[in-house]
Structure 1
Amino acid sequence: MAFPFNTEYPSIESLRERAQKRMPKFAFEYLDGGCNENINIKRNTDEIRQVQLKPTYLKNYGNANLKTELFGKTYSVPFGISPVGLQGLMWPNAPEILAKAAFKHNIPFVLSTVTTSSIERIAELTEGNYWFQLYNPAEDWLRKDILSRAEESGCDVLVVLCDVPTFGYRPKEIRNGLAMPPQMNMRNVFQVLGKPRWAMETLKHGQPNFATMEKYMENGMSIKQLGKWMNATFSGRLNAEKIKPIRDQWKGKLVLKGVASEADAEEAVKLGFDGIIVSNHGGRQLDAGESTIKPLKEIVPKYKDKLTVMLDSGVRSGPDIARVMSCGADFTFMGRSFMYGVGALGEKGGDQVIEMLKMQLQQVMEQVCCENVKDLPNYLVK
């Protein structure tokens, strides 16, 4: 095995437990929490795990092949790293750690507009092999400039976020001072003092900031001013009128993330998207909403011949990936799972999660006697 797999942490849950011990409470709760009563974050995984597979043992079959083609490129496995905001707050240098791991293992890394590494830095680390997620700016000039930077850096795929028309109500973030506008309170300071490794890594890499957006901000903004600026700068509400100039400017592959209904999938086809990511923002936006696997099952039969259909939110293991793929998804993405890895193991966290998921998925495919990822729907218990 190219990477020395750490047998002390053989599951996402074991990485989560270690990450919780190494991260300040406010940072871990920002990563781990959903919204309101945290119902939909749990529902996502619970309902994925209701999907069952049926093996067919008595037939000739070869080794499991995890390679997956997506938008004309062949990736080593059918999973990638979701966009996550403020990654460097949760673990210092996290986006760079994960981008390097993704590039090494040949999987997609999606950079968020509001994370803590810039377009240019991630492009450098991945040789332009990355995706970029756009939070749609309110001003046309700003959108054009951000998209030009992504295009010039070699970005493979542009992902447009549609599921944040308003910020979710997240009680733990409000208590911890991480709502908009954010503020650091004394409780948070004491939490940092109790996590010396996190504090030392933060000193080493510097205070996290919105690196892609830094060139557009005034120098010397207070945290409160920054929060107000972010609220004024981004418009989460999308419609056909706002999407058209994005489609006109972006000549590469275009994906809509946050689709949770057949109606939005139909609109995505009309607006010229190449793919959709069925997602509910990791359960962080609408606690009263459906899990991701339910709309996926409805969307796939009607739209898979028109769009590449992917899923994000709730996937926590190799068996989960197999379950989602068996329901007809072309690809899967995970955010928290990878951040737990980095929080637990730092620089080695991305490699650990990728190797773990590979081993788990391969075992499932070999157990049901499935040779290719695209054939997993043949093993679905209906």
Structure 2
Amino acid sequence: MRLKNCHNFKDFRKLAESRLPGPIFNYIDGGADDEVTYRNNTSCFDKCDLIPNVLRGVESVDMSVTVMGQKLDLPVYCSPTALQRLFHHKGERAVAAASEKYGTMFGVSSLGTVAMEEIREKHKNPQVFQFYFHKDRGLNRAMLERAKAAGVEVLMLTVDSITGGNRERDLRTGFSIPMQLTLGGMMQFAMKPMWGINYVTHEKFRLPQLESHVDMSGGATSIGRYFTEMLDPTMNWDDVAELAEFWDGEFCLKGIMSGADAKLAADAGCTGVILSNHGGRQLDGSSTAFNQLTEVVEAAGDRLDVMMDGGVQRGTQVLKALSLGAKAVGLGRYYLFPLAAAGQAGVERALGQMRAEIERDMKLMGVTSLDQLTRSNLRFR
């Protein structure tokens, strides 16, 4: 299969699988425990039908949205994800460039492999910085100060990862931090020599957001200690309020799943929330973001911008989320598989297909702008 033959998410996934060593493909593709939530993230959209309106004279459509104070040409954005240069040697550079071409927002993770400053300097589209909460409060402030100095517009605190999910695919292959490959896992790396050639012939793998704060001389062992020793599982709403006040800008929590927590986020000074179950990678059996949208949107009222991510593979699914009140929809695996398959060209092709789908679907729904979508456009079975 070649990039020109990729017409949807499943095609990109198949091409990525053919190019990545098995342990890395399964790191992207896998979820927690029995992967029930991972599957439900996508299948839940199938239980909701769109109700189009016809004869509305739709010649052209406006696909733009404003979310977290940022004007986007599309109602989707590229969510921050970790370790991107493991998937393709250009990593975040490719994603940022593709996002800029399509006029939308992208994110850099604390565990990103390119410095947020480099990306911010090269690209003018809105940038998110995602971070985790550390036991060292001074370190938390230092990371916020760095993001502010870089000119990052939106801060995103992930709140659903005070402990790691049970990702059994990674246990079977030995993909972990630190890396402890099983024999089968090592054999799968040997079967994809081009990945290894690309990995060793390009710049050294780094985690530049952490290098100033964590002694990386121990390599993977250092990263493992970061997770087990530095992140703070006692994080609470008082901590969130303090961070939001210190940041004094667009501040959202990623991992909110209930109306009660949305209200607490607003009380703490947040300006947005992202409904997310971490792509089904944390608490298996948890609800899907789409199924929780109505509850959270009603609780948030006009106090928060509500976004969601998880399982989105089609433009129609984006329109369903927007009909329930989401301001924008985050994409994760949707762009990671194209990144792994073909770098920037892959991400651009995927975003181009999403834009074409949303434009076509809006016309078929009889709407000229996204704010015309309401719950009246949906029927749940």
Same fold, judged at TM 0.5 (above): yes
Find 1:374's aligned residue among 355, 371, 375: 371
Identity %: 26
Q: 1:207 & 1:271 partners in 2: Cα distance?
A: 40
How far does residue 154 in structure 1 lie from its aligned partner after superposition?
0.5
The one-letter amino acid of 2:338's match is G
Q: 2:51 & 2:251 partners in 1: Cα distance?
A: 35
2:58 and 2:363 in contact (8 A); partners too: no
Find 1:171's aligned residue among 168, 172, 196: 168
Task: Quote the residue 2:154 is aligned against.
Answer: 157
Q: Does 2:266 match 1:273?
A: no
Task: Quote the residue 2:213 is aligned against.
Answer: 216
Q: Aligned-pair RMSD on alpha carbons? A: 1.9
The one-letter amino acid of 2:236's match is N
Q: 1:228 & 1:178 partners in 2: Cα distance?
A: 16
TM-score normalized by the length of structure 2? 0.94
Q: 2:351 & 2:125 partners in 1: Cα distance?
A: 20
What secondary structure does 2:218 align onto?
A: coil
Task: Quote the residue 2:256 is aligned against.
Answer: 259
Find 2:94's aligned residue among 88, 93, 97: 97
How far does residue 333 in structure 1 lie from its aligned partner after superposition?
0.3
Q: 1:226 & 1:74 partners in 2: Cα distance?
A: 36
Task: Quote the residue 1:44 is aligned against.
Answer: 41
1:292 and 1:314 in contact (8 A); partners too: no
How far does residue 75 in structure 1 lie from its aligned partner after superposition?
0.8
Q: 1:32 & 1:307 partners in 2: Cα distance?
A: 31
The one-letter amino acid of 1:145's match is A
2:216 and 2:222 in contact (8 A); partners too: no
The one-letter amino acid of 1:88's match is R
1:76 and 1:105 in contact (8 A); partners too: yes
1:93 and 1:205 in contact (8 A); partners too: no
Q: Does 2:117 match 1:120?
A: yes
Q: 1:46 & 1:125 partners in 2: Cα distance?
A: 38
Q: Where in structure 2 are there 5+ consecutive unaligned residues?
A: none
Find 2:11's aligned residue among 2, 9, 14: 14
Q: Does 2:104 match 1:107?
A: yes
Q: 1:268-321 CA distances to partner (integer Å, 9 max, x unpaired)?
A: 011011010011000100111111111112111232322101001111111111
Q: 2:65 & 2:238 partners in 1: Cα distance?
A: 34
Q: 1:214-252 CA distances to partner (integer Å, 9 max, x unpaired)?
A: 122325314234312332122244312221321121021
Q: Where in structure 1 are there 5+ consecutive unaligned residues?
A: none
Task: Quote the residue 1:316 is aligned against.
Answer: 313
1:128 and 1:154 in contact (8 A); partners too: no
How far does residue 50 in structure 1 lie from its aligned partner after superposition?
1.9
What secondary structure does 1:60 align onto?
A: coil
Task: Quote the residue 1:298 is aligned against.
Answer: 295
Find 1:202's aligned residue among 199, 202, 210: 199
1:24 and 1:192 in contact (8 A); partners too: yes
Q: 1:185 & 1:91 partners in 2: Cα distance?
A: 23
1:96 and 1:125 in contact (8 A); partners too: no
1:129 and 1:154 in contact (8 A); partners too: no
2:98 and 2:344 in contact (8 A); partners too: no
How far does residue 184 in structure 1 lie from its aligned partner after superposition?
4.0
1:35 and 1:171 in contact (8 A); partners too: yes
Q: 2:26 & 2:217 partners in 1: Cα distance?
A: 28
How far does residue 6 in structure 1 lie from its aligned partner after superposition?
5.5
The one-letter amino acid of 1:22's match is R
TM-score normalized by the length of structure 1? 0.94
Tell me which moved more, 243-252 or 205-214: 205-214
Q: 2:279 & 2:128 partners in 1: Cα distance?
A: 19
Cα distance change of structure 1 residues 227 and 131 upon mapping to structure 2, 3 Å threshold:
same
Q: 1:279 & 1:351 partners in 2: Cα distance?
A: 24
Cα distance change of structure 1 residues 199 and 57 upon mapping to structure 2, 3 Å threshold:
same
